Structure 1
Amino acid sequence: MSNRRNFLKTGIVGVAGLNLLPAVNAFAGEATTKPSADKFKLRFAIASDGHYAQPDTDSDQFYTDLVKWMNKEHADNHLDFIIVNGDLVHNRPDLLKKVKETYLDKFPVPYYTIPGNHDFADAAVWKSVFGYEDKYSVDKGDIGLVFANTADTKGGYVCPDYNFLKSALDAYKDKQIVFVILHIPPHQWTPEEKTIFVDCPEIIELLHSYPNIKATFHGHDHTLDGIRYTGKLPHLWDSHFGGNWGTDYKGYRIVEVSANNEINTYQVNASQNPKLNSNKL
């Protein structure tokens, strides 16, 4: 793990030099006033990598903080829902139910989850805890959300289910906006990432074939809190709210869709509360 952290901390600089991480503070001054609940067509938070029960970490505090942050975010600015994008637990699928009942069920709004590689979960496990399988879609009117698992029950990285994605995206082809949520990115931006991300060229090609897909959201890499691109498709990360490595801060990402379908997203440092990596999509 230490080697992986060392690579990732230095690797971001190299990636930025390849122009895969564009200027991310261009819109940092936007949305600084408190919005009303009806200002946005949709407003949600996305957080990942709680790693509950990781040894030598205070994972109960991580989840307590997340619940506190989400309740404050909703009270201050309104949220329609929350997404927890993988690695809810650390190699302990038997604790998923505890995480759900002790923490996630205290969120102030509905929430959606998807497995990460440390959840060791398949469709049956996920359904037994959350009531839905490890790949599914959510209809929000003219906005659609598509979730798919990117890991197996032993923590191995896998490409998301192509047939499921195609079917779900076909069903949403007439929607104005689609967001895809995948814990592990299906693309390797640098050769070194062959041990970090999973290379799924057929998935990238599929995602590129639907112009209404406006962004994909990933967890997994705790050091990433910005944006990369495959073609014109944005891939966004949200740092981490748990675990023992990654960015110095812990936080989450906000996504806002305006009444005229403009999309604004920014990263929140939940400890200090500035907006980071704000982008127009």
Structure 2
Amino acid sequence: MLFERRSFLKFLPAMSGLSFLSLPENNLKAGKLALRFIIASDGHYGQPNTEYKKFHSDLIGWINQEKVQKGVDFTVINGDLIHDDPTLMYDVKSTFENLRVPFYVTRGNHDKVGLDVWESTWGYPTNHSFAKGEYAFILGDTSNEKGEYICPDINWLRTEIAKYSSAKGIYIFLHITPEKWTDNGINCKEVTDLFSQTPNVKAIFHGHDHDQDSQKTLGKKPYFFDGHFGGNWGTAYKGYRVVEIYEDETWQTYQYNPTAAPILNSFNGKK
């Protein structure tokens, strides 16, 4: 841990303007962690008239520091990695490779690249999943090369959920919410019905709506937003969401604002 912390501090000077985070001393909930991960979205790398390089270096610094101070098993960047220009996909990948934790990505409506370019860049298709320990994580595609809003592939989702039927919990990541809660949502009733009918689906996470950073409920399942860490609109702060899963199978999540009163919109989940 000492070596890791020193290595991180050595990395800090490269990130101009980064102040040391004031992380909470105690978890909102006491207990031994099984997994801890971070979700961020909507960096919009390359968006004109934004400080997109600073937005990314700030996020990477915050997550790397969380790794040192609190532990992070992985990060999900939940869509809108770039801002419309397909040639930027390699650049944003190279930027995210400065993260000191494993990271996974979903395609958003501004990630206007074809399936072949996506897979050759990231090494997996736009619909993909993985397991960590006794938990499963499903990352679905909610757009296409044109940037249209689309429902995730219901047949693929059914197959993936069935594959992880014995997992203690399934956590799902979709850039665009499958319910018309906001102007930017889309109705995908087959998808939300599937989630509500699957006992071990614990939570669904979204980006896309930069001004949303709280939680909504549908079919007794919680759906979460994480604001944004880039772009030119949205919540007044740029931040990310933390999820902590405990060995007793309970879990919690909260939105994190690294530059002010840090913890927002906390939620405690049951087994």
Instruction: Provide Cα deviations, 1:198-243, integer angstroms capped at 9, x if missing partner.
Output: 1111111111121100000000000110100112100001110000
Equivalent-residue separation in structure 2 for 1:220 and 1:263 (angstroms) = 24
**Paired residue type of 1:143:** Y
Aligned alpha-carbon RMSD (Å) = 1.5
For 2:4, the equivalent position in structure 1 comes to none
Range 266-275 or range 170-179, more displaced:
266-275
For 1:127, the equivalent position in structure 2 comes to 119
Name which of 211, 218, 221 aligns with 1:233.
221
Deviation at 1:141, TM superposition (A): 2.4
**Paired residue type of 2:266:** S
Name which of 129, 146, 152 aligns with 1:154.
146
Preserved contact between residue 193 and residue 219 of structure 2 (Cα < 8 Å): no
Show structure 2 runs of 5+ residues with no match.
1-23
**Paired residue type of 2:97:** D
Equivalent-residue separation in structure 2 for 1:211 and 1:125 (angstroms) = 35
Equivalent-residue separation in structure 1 for 2:27 and 2:199 (angstroms) = 32
Matched, 1:136 2:128: yes
Deviation at 1:126, TM superposition (A): 1.5
**Paired residue type of 1:119:** D
Once superposed, which parts of structure 1, at least 4 consecutive aligned residues long, lie more than 3 Å away?
none
For 1:279, the equivalent position in structure 2 comes to 267
For 1:267, the equivalent position in structure 2 comes to 255
Structure 2 residue matching 1:51: 3-state secondary structure:
coil
Structure 2 vs 1, CA of residues 122 and 170 (structure 1 numbering), >3 Å: closer, same or farther?
farther
Preserved contact between residue 114 and residue 183 of structure 1 (Cα < 8 Å): yes
For 1:117, the equivalent position in structure 2 comes to 109
**Paired residue type of 1:52:** Y
Equivalent-residue separation in structure 2 for 1:232 and 1:32 (angstroms) = 31
Counting only pairs closer than 5 Å after superposition, residues 1-281 of structure 1 correspond to structure 2 as 32-33=25-26, 39-101=32-94, 103-189=95-181, 193=182, 195-272=183-260, 274-281=262-269
Q: TM-score, normalised by structure 2?
A: 0.87
Deviation at 1:97, TM superposition (A): 0.7
Deviation at 1:92, TM superposition (A): 1.3
Instruction: Provide Cα deviations, 1:70-103, integer angstroms capped at 9, x if missing partner.
Output: 11111110000011000010001211111111x2
**Paired residue type of 1:95:** L
Show structure 1 runs of 5+ residues with no match.
1-30
Higher relative contact order (CA 8 A, sep 6+): 1
Preserved contact between residue 122 and residue 134 of structure 1 (Cα < 8 Å): no
For 1:19, the equivalent position in structure 2 comes to none
Equivalent-residue separation in structure 1 for 2:249 and 2:136 (angstroms) = 13
Instruction: Provide Cα deviations, 1:109-153, integer angstroms capped at 9, x if missing partner.
Output: 100001100011343221111111100110112100001110111
Identity %: 42
Structure 1 residue matching 2:97: 3-state secondary structure:
helix
Structure 1 residue matching 2:171: 3-state secondary structure:
strand
Equivalent-residue separation in structure 2 for 1:135 and 1:126 (angstroms) = 11
Structure 2 residue matching 1:247: 3-state secondary structure:
coil
Instruction: Provide Cα deviations, 1:148-188, integer angstroms capped at 9, x if missing partner.
Output: 11011111000001111000000001111000100001111
**Paired residue type of 1:72:** Q
Structure 2 vs 1, CA of residues 120 and 54 (structure 1 numbering), >3 Å: closer, same or farther?
same
Instruction: Provide Cα deviations, 1:56-81, integer angstroms capped at 9, x if missing partner.
Output: 10100110101111111111100000
Equivalent-residue separation in structure 2 for 1:34 and 1:275 (angstroms) = 11
Preserved contact between residue 116 and residue 149 of structure 1 (Cα < 8 Å): yes
Preserved contact between residue 178 and residue 215 of structure 1 (Cα < 8 Å): yes
Preserved contact between residue 123 and residue 135 of structure 1 (Cα < 8 Å): no
Equivalent-residue separation in structure 2 for 1:168 and 1:122 (angstroms) = 22
